[in-house]
Protein backbone atom coordinates (compact mmCIF):
# COMPACT_ATOMS: atom_id res chain seq x y z
CA UNK A 1 0.00 0.00 0.00
CA UNK A 2 1.27 3.44 -0.88
CA UNK A 3 2.31 5.75 1.90
CA UNK A 4 1.07 8.73 -0.08
CA UNK A 5 -1.77 10.62 1.49
CA UNK A 6 -3.51 11.34 -1.78
CA UNK A 7 -3.50 10.25 -5.39
CA UNK A 8 -5.20 11.75 -8.42
CA UNK A 9 -8.11 9.29 -8.26
CA UNK A 10 -9.04 10.73 -4.84
CA UNK A 11 -9.65 14.16 -6.32
CA UNK A 12 -13.03 15.11 -7.74
CA UNK A 13 -13.11 18.37 -9.66
CA UNK A 14 -16.18 20.44 -10.50
CA UNK A 15 -18.57 18.45 -8.40
CA UNK A 16 -22.12 19.64 -7.99
CA UNK A 17 -23.78 18.45 -4.81
CA UNK A 18 -27.13 19.07 -3.15
CA UNK A 19 -25.72 18.95 0.38
CA UNK A 20 -22.60 18.05 2.29
CA UNK A 21 -23.84 14.49 2.72
CA UNK A 22 -23.65 14.01 -1.05
CA UNK A 23 -20.04 15.24 -1.18
CA UNK A 24 -19.08 13.04 1.76
CA UNK A 25 -20.66 9.98 0.11
CA UNK A 26 -18.95 10.70 -3.20
CA UNK A 27 -15.50 11.09 -1.66
CA UNK A 28 -15.99 8.12 0.68
CA UNK A 29 -16.77 6.00 -2.37
CA UNK A 30 -13.57 7.18 -4.06
CA UNK A 31 -11.60 6.15 -0.98
CA UNK A 32 -13.28 2.73 -1.00
CA UNK A 33 -12.61 2.30 -4.70
CA UNK A 34 -8.95 3.03 -4.10
CA UNK A 35 -8.84 0.31 -1.46
CA UNK A 36 -8.11 2.78 1.36
CA UNK A 37 -11.45 2.33 3.08
CA UNK A 38 -13.12 -1.06 3.55
CA UNK A 39 -16.70 0.14 3.62
CA UNK A 40 -17.70 3.50 2.11
CA UNK A 41 -21.07 3.61 3.90
CA UNK A 42 -19.61 2.86 7.33
CA UNK A 43 -16.92 5.49 6.90
CA UNK A 44 -19.41 8.08 5.62
CA UNK A 45 -21.58 7.40 8.68
CA UNK A 46 -18.61 8.08 10.97
CA UNK A 47 -17.91 11.33 9.13
CA UNK A 48 -21.58 12.37 9.45
CA UNK A 49 -21.46 11.62 13.16
CA UNK A 50 -18.46 13.94 13.50
CA UNK A 51 -20.25 16.64 11.49
CA UNK A 52 -23.18 16.32 13.87
CA UNK A 53 -20.95 17.31 16.82
CA UNK A 54 -19.91 20.53 15.11
CA UNK A 55 -19.97 21.39 11.43
CA UNK A 56 -16.50 21.70 9.93
CA UNK A 57 -16.86 24.76 7.70
CA UNK A 58 -13.75 26.91 7.83
CA UNK A 59 -12.79 30.44 6.86
CA UNK A 60 -12.04 30.65 3.14
CA UNK A 61 -15.12 28.71 1.97
CA UNK A 62 -13.61 25.37 2.92
CA UNK A 63 -15.35 22.26 4.21
CA UNK A 64 -13.29 19.88 6.28
CA UNK A 65 -15.24 16.72 7.03
CA UNK A 66 -13.15 14.10 8.81
CA UNK A 67 -13.35 11.05 11.01
CA UNK A 68 -11.39 8.38 12.75
CA UNK A 69 -12.97 5.17 11.61
CA UNK A 70 -12.39 1.44 11.87
CA UNK A 71 -13.25 1.31 8.17
CA UNK A 72 -10.11 3.26 7.28
CA UNK A 73 -7.05 1.24 6.32
CA UNK A 74 -4.62 4.01 5.40
CA UNK A 75 -4.60 7.67 6.45
CA UNK A 76 -5.96 9.43 3.40
CA UNK A 77 -7.18 12.68 1.99
CA UNK A 78 -9.83 13.11 -0.66
CA UNK A 79 -10.55 16.47 -2.25
CA UNK A 80 -13.50 17.88 -4.11
CA UNK A 81 -13.94 21.26 -5.74
CA UNK A 82 -17.55 22.40 -5.73
CA UNK A 83 -17.90 25.55 -7.86
CA UNK A 84 -21.52 26.17 -6.85
CA UNK A 85 -20.73 25.58 -3.18
CA UNK A 86 -22.07 23.20 -0.60
CA UNK A 87 -23.03 24.22 2.92
CA UNK A 88 -20.66 23.22 5.73
CA UNK A 89 -21.89 26.02 7.99
CA UNK A 90 -18.61 27.85 7.54
CA UNK A 91 -18.16 31.46 8.62
CA UNK A 92 -18.07 32.82 5.08
CA UNK A 93 -20.67 30.90 3.21
CA UNK A 94 -20.90 27.67 1.29
CA UNK A 95 -17.72 25.68 0.84
CA UNK A 96 -16.32 25.50 -2.66
CA UNK A 97 -13.39 23.35 -1.63
CA UNK A 98 -13.88 20.19 0.43
CA UNK A 99 -11.16 18.14 2.12
CA UNK A 100 -12.22 14.77 3.50
CA UNK A 101 -9.71 13.36 5.97
CA UNK A 102 -9.79 9.66 6.72
CA UNK A 103 -7.92 8.49 9.80
CA UNK A 104 -7.66 4.89 10.96
CA UNK A 105 -9.20 4.16 14.35
CA UNK A 106 -5.90 2.77 15.53
CA UNK A 107 -2.70 3.52 13.82
CA UNK A 108 0.98 4.01 14.09
CA UNK A 109 1.98 7.48 15.12
CA UNK A 110 3.79 8.27 11.89
CA UNK A 111 0.58 7.71 9.98
CA UNK A 112 -1.26 10.14 12.15
CA UNK A 113 1.59 12.60 12.08
CA UNK A 114 1.13 13.10 8.37
CA UNK A 115 -2.48 14.05 9.05
CA UNK A 116 -1.40 16.50 11.73
CA UNK A 117 0.96 18.03 9.21
CA UNK A 118 -1.85 18.27 6.68
CA UNK A 119 -4.14 19.91 9.23
CA UNK A 120 -1.50 22.54 9.93
CA UNK A 121 -1.24 23.22 6.19
CA UNK A 122 -4.96 23.73 5.93
CA UNK A 123 -4.83 27.04 7.82
CA UNK A 124 -2.42 28.42 5.25
CA UNK A 125 -4.23 30.38 2.55
CA UNK A 126 -1.23 29.81 0.28
CA UNK A 127 -1.79 26.06 0.47
CA UNK A 128 -5.56 26.06 0.06
CA UNK A 129 -5.21 28.62 -2.71
CA UNK A 130 -2.78 26.38 -4.58
CA UNK A 131 -5.20 23.47 -4.29
CA UNK A 132 -8.03 25.61 -5.53
CA UNK A 133 -6.00 26.93 -8.44
CA UNK A 134 -4.82 23.49 -9.49
CA UNK A 135 -5.99 22.75 -13.03
CA UNK A 136 -6.65 19.05 -12.62
CA UNK A 137 -6.68 16.10 -10.26
CA UNK A 138 -3.01 15.30 -10.87
CA UNK A 139 -1.93 18.78 -9.87
CA UNK A 140 -4.07 18.73 -6.71
CA UNK A 141 -2.52 15.44 -5.64
CA UNK A 142 1.00 16.66 -6.25
CA UNK A 143 0.41 19.97 -4.45
CA UNK A 144 -0.81 18.11 -1.37
CA UNK A 145 1.89 15.47 -1.51
CA UNK A 146 4.56 18.13 -1.74
CA UNK A 147 3.08 20.11 1.14
CA UNK A 148 3.13 17.20 3.61
CA UNK A 149 6.39 15.71 2.38
Rounded-to-integer distance, Cα 53 and Cα 104, Å = 19
Spacing of C-alpha 4 from chain mean position: 14
Cα of first residue to Cα of last residue in the chain, in angstroms, is 17
Rounded-to-integer distance, Cα 39 and Cα 43, Å = 6
Among 17, 23, 58, 144, binds other proteins (CB under 8 A): 58
- CB nearer to other proteins: pick between 91 and 135: 91
According to the binding rule CB under 8 A, does residue 8 interact with other proteins?
Answer: no
According to the binding rule CB under 8 A, does residue 66 interact with other proteins?
Answer: yes
> Nearest 5°: CA angle at 118, between 117 and 124?
100
Q: Which of residues 106-145 bind other proteins (CB under 8 A)?
A: 109, 112-113, 115-117, 119-124
| Catalytic residue list contains 66 | yes
According to the binding rule CB under 8 A, does residue 101 interact with other proteins?
Answer: yes
Contact footprint for other proteins (CB under 8 A): 50, 53-54, 56, 58-59, 64, 66-68, 91, 101, 103, 109, 112-113, 115-117, 119-124
Amino acid sequence: MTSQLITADLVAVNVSAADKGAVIDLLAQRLADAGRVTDAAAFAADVRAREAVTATGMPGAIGLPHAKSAAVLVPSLAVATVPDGVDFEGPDGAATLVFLIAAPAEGADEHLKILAKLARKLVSPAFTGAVRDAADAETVASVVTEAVA
